[in-house]
Chains A and B, each alone.
Chain A
Amino acid sequence: FQIMVDVLDTVRLYIKEMVHLAGPQMKIMLMDKETTSIVSCAYGQNEMMQKEVFIFDRIDNGVQREPIKYLKCIVFVRPTPDNLHLLQEELRNPRYAQYYIYFSNIISKADLKMLAEADEHETVRDVQEFFIDSIALSPSLCSLSIPRPYDHSAISMSVQSHRRSAEALIALLLSLKKRPVIKYQTSSEDAAKLALKVGEVIRREAQLFEETSLDTLLLVVDRFEDPITPLLNQWTYEAMVHELLTFKQHFVTVEGTKYVLNERDDDFYARNMCSNFGEIGANCKELITEYQHKANTHKNVESIADMKQFVDEYPQFKKMSGSVSKHVAIIGELSRLVGAHNLLEVSELEQSMVVDGDQGRALERLKTLLANPKTTQLDATRLIMLYALRFQGSYMTDPLALAAKIRSTETTEALKTLIKYAGAGRRKGDLFGSGNPMEITKRFIKGLKGVENVYTQHVPLLQAQLEAATRGRLPEGLWAAAGENALNARIDHIIVFMVGGATFAESALVRQWNDKRRSQPGFPSVTLLATHVHNTTSFIEQISAMRQ
């Protein structure tokens, strides 16, 4: 039996405890912009209403709230100066009977004093620090939802996003009760700064870290060491939804209709989120057949017994029909886009370019695709970027000349920034496995066997990093330790922080890794925390924002 680390479940337990501490009676919950996302991704409104929390509101949306003096108020906010100011105002003119205040992170004594002074009506009953400071999107993935963490005119993080990242990491460590050994990529200043900051806070807040376990490794990695993954077309349900339709905290919009895709209460999605596109199509067909069968049995309601059964099953049936129409709409749109944008061909070129690395063939096909009217601007850009990254130093055609072909100054500018941000001059890692004899052998064997699926050959760099970390063989020059050096116990858990954002491809990889732990004891579990979950569009926007 292996203990699984589940960040989503952890968040849910913290929220449940808040509500429990506020006790019986009707309650309102006040949140800020970020904590609203945290709570919404963990709990449905109906579920909260069963716990007598009937009203939800933002403390920071500037809307005048009407007082309801017989309500208890649960406040769950980040301890930011703005929120503290708003909370002080709230306490000076309390709208509700009692206040139960939970901060998502450490609050300073000075801030606590200010708040205490504002509590003239003595309405505050409980003040605690509950360490949930990032959005748990799934059991092993947390996001800060900062799409552009970089300073303008620089390729390093802004002070603000740097602080935010450190806070989120500290909170994650505390919520999982871990005091990790910290390792960071030496090529990244951001990773180093962040790792050192986290180490410093752990030392300073020794009291909070007293009862934490020492079986964890924290890897602080930077997106620029693997700029390939976010530039590829993806073929799992979850990643495709994000790549083609944009997936924002479980929301996706198709033809003006907003849907929620959440593995917590959507069985079909939970089963298929990591399946590839072919499987999803087949499974969706099955779902429709099952639905039709049910609909038909419901059609011939003849006897009283039929009617009774119908009434009993009606809510479930209605729920199923909602779910079916949702998935049919989404999958239908995905397959339309795959056809319209010629994505199979585009994806095949992406994969062969990155994995095989045959420049002559790649260039020829790239030129054909750039001339194809079906190829979108985005796909043209991603192909040129992949070409530029893959063959840097041995170009047969200058990628800038290719970019000029598609007549987009945006692409040209972004391409320049990309090379500065993630080019061979900055990367230290072996992204394409060219120097690694193991990789070369693997590729050779693969070449003999033939590939199973041409669209999913590429494996994110994270896989190699996790393997190396598990074996305790992170290359010396590429990684350095911050803070406590020795790992006392066996590594049972790895937390990965990704500066510059992760992708759903990496999230799926972490999922697989954790599934392996279920069957193979001794495998460390993995949690991924990132500044954002990118698709290609948002990744290119993040790059474009750097030069402004």
Chain B
Amino acid sequence: SVMTSIGNSVPGVSRNVTEVFLLLRSNAQQDFAFRDRGGRNAKVRFGSLKEEEMSLVSLEEGGEHAETSFEQPMWIHTNDEVEFEMSRIKSKIGELSVAQQKHLSRTSFGDDKFEEMEERRIEALTDQITKMISHAHRLASGIKNESPPRENRSEQKLRMNANSALVYSLSQITDEFKKHQTSYLARIRKRSQNVDDFLIAGLGGDTSHELSLLDAAPDQEYSMAELQMIMNNESIVHEREKEVLAVNQSIVELNSLFKDLSSMVVEQGTILDRIDHNIENTSIRVSRAVDSVQSAYRAQKGDKKMQCIMCLAIAIIVLLLLLIATKF
């Protein structure tokens, strides 16, 4: 009986015949080996010997060949590196997000050392991620631009396509990071706005209070406390401003990197994204290339014939001249 299993991994019915295939394959190989050993017929023997010899040759050839082409080109390692880098970027973004959340949910605005440390950490992380992204981007664009020696056309296509897919995932991560930073920025702004509003409202209230006091008794001790508070607030505002600038900086930097990354978004749904269209196009290009090679070859061949004829004609003329010169 045929051993088959009916799978559940797809929505409909599927039948896995791999086991049957492997069984048939090992049977075929056993048959082949058996025939090879016990073949009495000289012809068969000769045939199989020849086959063996040929397979030896082809193995050797193939072996050499295999060694060169089994060896993955450098760009694949770079590709893997970028992929690894992307997974690190993802986890760093997660880390940053946690830190920012913590920072935003803090309510006090003291001259807390701890808070300053936290801010530094956020800044450092942002900086690190930005650097990692530009590094990954540099690596990825290197893949596109450096063609390894002895690369055939299919390998080139592979490299280009792999690269554009890589760049696309990279741009998606970058987008995610950019969106993340933009929303963080908006929240910081909103918060500092709230603080400002609060302060202005507070001051407003105080000034009226102050004015009424002014008439009564101009005093200094109260102003000192107020001044202190205003100074403090100003430094907070300044601090926020710096933060905003830093986040903005990272976004601007990333924008300049990823101008060319969005081609895959644009291509989606167009003719360039159709598999059949692309296959047809390359096969047309290939057959045209073969044609032009052939016609070039023919032209060359024609040239050679022509050269031959010319050479012979010149030789005949020279000999004729010689004949005439010596005879007469």
Contacts and interface: CB of A to CB of B under 8 A. Distances in A.
B290 to A, nearest CB: 9
Given A45-B275, A112-B20, A124-B25, A319 B268 contact: yes
B149 interface: no
B21 A65 contact: no
B283 interface: yes
B155 interface: yes
Interface of B: 2, 4, 6-7, 9-18, 20-22, 24-25, 27-29, 66, 69-70, 72, 76, 152-155, 157-158, 161-162, 164-165, 168-169, 178, 248, 251-252, 255, 259, 262, 264-279, 283, 286-287
Contacts of B27: 116
A37 B279 CA distance: 11
Contact of B286 (A63, A212, A259): A63
A211 interface: yes
Contact of B154 (A66, A113, A266): A66
Interface residues of A, number: 86
A231 B256 CA distance: 57
B158 A68 contact: yes
Given A46-B268, A116-B21, A127-B18, A207 B4 contact: yes
Interface of A: 9-10, 13-14, 17, 20, 26, 28, 36-37, 39-40, 43-50, 52, 54-58, 61, 63, 65-71, 97, 106-107, 109, 112-113, 115-117, 119-120, 122, 124-131, 174-177, 207-212, 249-251, 258-260, 262, 264-266, 304, 308, 311-312, 314-316, 318-319, 322-323
28 contacts: A20-B9, A26-B158, A40-B276, A45-B274, A45-B278, A46-B165, A46-B267, A54-B158, A56-B279, A63-B287, A66-B152, A67-B69, A69-B66, A70-B70, A107-B17, A112-B17, A112-B21, A115-B21, A116-B22, A116-B27, A117-B25, A122-B25, A124-B25, A127-B18, A177-B12, A264-B269, A265-B268, A314-B262
Nearest to A175: B12
Interface of B is mostly: helix
Given A46-B268, A312-B178, A319-B266, A174 B12 contact: yes
A312 B66 CA distance: 46
Contacts of B266: 315, 318-319, 322
B14 A128 contact: yes
B14 A129 contact: yes
A176 B12 contact: yes
Nearest first, the 9 A-B pairs at minimum CB distance are: A315-B262, A175-B12, A265-B269, A116-B24, A40-B276, A116-B25, A54-B161, A315-B265, A49-B165
Contacts of B6: 207-208, 210-211
Contact of A128 (B15, B25, B178): B15
A48 B15 contact: no
Nearest to B17: A127
B8 to A, nearest CB: 9
A128 B11 contact: no
Contacts of B165: 46, 49-50, 52, 54
A128 B24 contact: no
B28 A117 contact: yes
A36 B275 contact: yes
B154 A48 contact: no
B12 A70 contact: no
A9 B25 CA distance: 35
